[in-house]
Amino acid sequence: MTEKGTPVVTEMQVIPVAGRDSMLMTLSGAHGPFFTRNLVILKDSAGHTGIGEIHGGDYTCEALTSCIPLVVGKPIGMYRKILDSIHKASRRAKEDDGEGIQSLDISKLKFVVKAEWAIECALLDLLGQYLDLPMCELLGDGKQRDRVETLGYLFYVSDKGKAEQLEYLDERESSDPWYRMRRQEMLTPERIVEQAQVLHEKYGFRNFKLKGGVLAGAEEMEAVKALKQAFPKGRINIDPNGAWSLEEAISLCRPMEGVLTYVEDPCGPEAGYSSREVMAEFKNAVKLPVATNMIATDWRQFYHAAALKSVDIVLADPHFWGFGGSVRMAQTLNDWGLTWGSHSNNHFDITLTAFAHVAAAAPGAPTALDTHWIWQDGQNLLKDTPQIVDGYLQVPEKPGLGVTIDMERVLEANRLYKKLSTHDRDDAMAMQYLIPGWKFDSKKPCLVR
């Protein structure tokens, strides 16, 4: 007798994991030596395994664990209803003031990232396997492309030797030029250009984004000009995470109208005005497209950003918007003549794969995707990690996510997680070794004190 309906979820595991990071510099400080993520692993009655990856930390881990009764026992074909039941059962945390990350307060990122999107990913993985279709075929209008353009995500990197107690990974003996470089100090325009050149050789990147908010804006623009000189046909962008005042952002960016392709979150809230209002004024003054992952992180914020014409490019990270939501945003932007892309945070290769599928389903001409993966490359949790070749991320062709989890590596990453004294991101901690008494200030680049 043939069973009717789709397979049923029989098991849900939530496994927190940790990996190694470089001393990357951002407005919020310096990345510590470890980053954390949470994995969701689902099994169904057809014998398939579905996987998802999301933001790290105990808050997100506990949120995922609380969802288990709402997922186990449910047919995978009802994944939308499963997600709806999670949304209806959820409540806003007391600490969540609704401000989001328009001032880049990293402690609030856990409220912008929604834990259930890791469950959505794992369910779509299972459904794709059941239907014998790649996950991207289940999103939006289906698969639009076989490979996804990515950019080289450039960072200023500080000297980890100033914080020897923090156990940053040392790769100076690696035979790979990029692995050797990514743990070294890189704080000058020359070193940023060298970073881009090594990344071009390894991954084929032609387009680059520099994470700003580290040095004085004028110094960072010198690095941008040096990059454009080294890659004259490349698209060069900068993201200071709203560190500049409106006046400073205008004075810095006007002369760069023929150099920058776009600028991401050049300014933030000030003088009683929200980031959306301030960035609308920036756009009126500077003839550069503006991108964001800070001021349009949900549909209500996007409504106000769109009404004010504050942005041209929405970096709709599926960990903020969900997989279906991110592609729905891509469809909306395409219909309106705007541009879709995706923000990135430190992540393992499960997220890298998920990004490939979401971007493969995005219509139109998305901007090149962010990915931190190059800074984590080699710390695989998959047996068949998609590759970045000639600047493009390959989209798996097998059903579902199209990849195979390596449980031995997952359990190793889980053991590392359990050894850590804290599981939440704290960029101020590492900064204390560079500047004693350092405190986050959304209007002061991290090394300008």
Q: How far apart are CA 267 and CA 243, in angstroms?
A: 6
Query: Catalytic residue positions?
Result: 211, 343
Strand partners, 150: 369
Report the length, in residues, of the chain. Answer: 449
